[in-house]
């Protein structure tokens, strides 16, 4: 693994954030399976190294835009479990007062501009955030998360053109998990993904998204350069989606094999790999890691119970927030 940080606390926080995402998703999946959650949700499990590696290179004033598979970005950008589970269950104390749900979840106070349920729908927003930063002389950077499937949307090419023309501080982070919903990426994407950005003169990198330190090291460098006006940049993060397209996508052998899933989980899991590295480097003992995992599990259990007992919004809220004052 790459060596990105020398601060022990940073390593442990990155590990903790990855486990928090996995734990959040496991609990969300249980809520779905036990029919306690309204609607569906899209699991981020397996992609934790991407969200954490990137968001740990950002400050609270840096912005991100997220996707329908957005719980991981939300946790990694600083959200807490209670308000997230409340949002998932449509409760008043959710980050969006229950009006957004899983597909629009965001802790806006930490610079998350929202999960977006239109594939590729936030590419304009992210690039516009970067335009605002440039116009106002601010030094914040915006990261636009999207999947490989979204590279088929025309909007990407319109906004990359403008970002490149105007040297905007935006990083396009393409989470290539190999599948565009229920279809292999190679069946929907001609040519190379990074070449799309390079056609606009945008510097593009491909990185192992299951190696959180490699992701973090590269992102830190690109964020620093984007702050100096050297953006935009494009990242293709090779990763894998452990669950189906959404929690209801159970029988999926018609588009990918169980052997393939098993291989990624057993041999490339970002949490297992990072945990091994932490122990090997003497940063944490197995006991310390197990204690951290248990603490996170307890946090999640408590947050779920809290959210289940929390109030729904009053019906008078239904036409509130249509317009701002």
Partner 1 sequence: MREITLSQAVNEAIAEEMRRDETVFLMGEDVAEAGTPFKVLSGLVEEFGTGRVIDTPIAEPGFVGLAVGAAMTGGRPVVDLMFGDFLYLVMDQLCNQAAKQHYMSGGKLTVPMVLRTNLGATRRSAAQHSQSLQALVAHIPGLKVAMPSSAYEAKGLMKTAIRDNNPVVIFEDKLMYQDKAPIPEEDYLIPFGEAHIKREGSDITLIGTSSMVQVAEAAADMLSAEGISAEVIDPRTLVPLDEAALVESVKRTSRAIVIDEGHQSYGVTSEIASRLNEKAFYHLDAPVLRMGAMDVPVPFSPALEDITVPTPEGVAENARKLCSGELIHAA
Residues that bind partner 1 (CB under 8 A): 63, 65, 94-100, 104, 106, 108-109, 113-114, 116, 118, 121-133, 135-136, 142, 154-155, 158-159, 161-162, 165, 320-325
Shortest Å distance, C-beta 84 to partner 1: 13
The distance in angstroms from the start CA to the end CA of the chain is: 51
Of 159 and 271, which CB lies nearer to partner 1 in the complex structure? 159
**Which of 71, 55, 51, 53 has the alpha carbon at shortest distance from 63?**
55
Shortest Å distance, C-beta 165 to partner 1: 8
Q: Given the DSSP bridges, would you call strands 183-184 and 179-180 parallel, antiparallel or unpaired?
A: antiparallel
Shortest Å distance, C-beta 307 to partner 1: 15
Of 157 and 306, which CB lies nearer to partner 1 in the complex structure? 157
Shortest Å distance, C-beta 16 to partner 1: 26
Of 286 and 312, which CB lies nearer to partner 1 in the complex structure? 312
User: For residue 232, what are the contacts with CB-CB under 8 A and spacing of at least 6?
Assistant: 130, 160, 163, 164, 167, 168, 169, 170, 171, 172, 202, 226
Of 96 and 212, which CB lies nearer to partner 1 in the complex structure? 96
Of 123 and 247, which CB lies nearer to partner 1 in the complex structure? 123
- Look-up of token digits 């159970």: 250
Give the pair of three-digit tokens for residue 134. Answer: 């440039």
Shortest Å distance, C-beta 90 to partner 1: 11
Q: For residues 180 and 245, give the distance between their C-alpha atoms in angstroms, rounded to a whole number.
A: 8
Q: For residues 217 and 264, give the distance between their C-alpha atoms in angstroms, rounded to a whole number.
A: 23
């Amino acid at each position: 693994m790459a060596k990105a940080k020398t601060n022990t606390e940073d390593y442990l926080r990155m590990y903790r954030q990855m486990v928090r995402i996995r734990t959040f998703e496991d609990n969300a999946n249980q809520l779905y399976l036990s029919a306690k959650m309204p609607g569906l949700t899209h699991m981020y499990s397996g992609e934790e190294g991407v969200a954490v590696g990137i968001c740990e290179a950002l400050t609270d004033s840096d912005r991100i835009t997220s996707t329908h598979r957005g719980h991981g970005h939300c946790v990694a950008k600083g959200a807490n479990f209670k308000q997230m589970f409340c949002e998932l269950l449509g409760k008043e104390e959710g980050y969006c007062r229950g009006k957004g749900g899983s597909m629009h979840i965001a802790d806006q106070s930490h610079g998350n501009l929202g999960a977006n349920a239109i594939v590729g729908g936030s590419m304009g927003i992210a690039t516009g955030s970067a335009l605002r930063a440039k116009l106002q002389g601010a030094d914040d950077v915006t990261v636009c998360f999207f999947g490989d499937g979204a590279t088929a949307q025309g909007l990407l090419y319109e906004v990359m053109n403008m970002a490149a023309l105007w040297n905007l501080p935006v990083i396009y982070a393409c989470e290539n998990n190999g599948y565009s919903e229920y279809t292999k990426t190679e069946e929907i994407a001609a040519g190379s993904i990074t070449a799309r950005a390079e056609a606009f003169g945008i510097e593009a990198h491909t990185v192992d998204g299951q190696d959180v330190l490699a992701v973090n090291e590269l992102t830190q460098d690109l964020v620093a350069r984007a702050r100096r006006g050297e953006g935009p940049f494009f990242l293709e993060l090779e990763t894998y989606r452990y669950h189906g397209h959404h929690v209801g996508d159970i029988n999926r052998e018609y588009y990918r094999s169980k052997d393939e899933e098993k291989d990624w989980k057993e041999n490339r899991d970002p949490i297992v790999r990072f945990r091994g590295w932490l122990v090997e480097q003497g940063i944490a003992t197995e006991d310390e890691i197990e204690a951290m995992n248990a603490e996170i599990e307890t946090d999640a259990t408590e947050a779920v119970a809290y959210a289940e007992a929390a109030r729904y919004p009053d019906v008078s809220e239904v036409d509130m927030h249509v317009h701002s004052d």
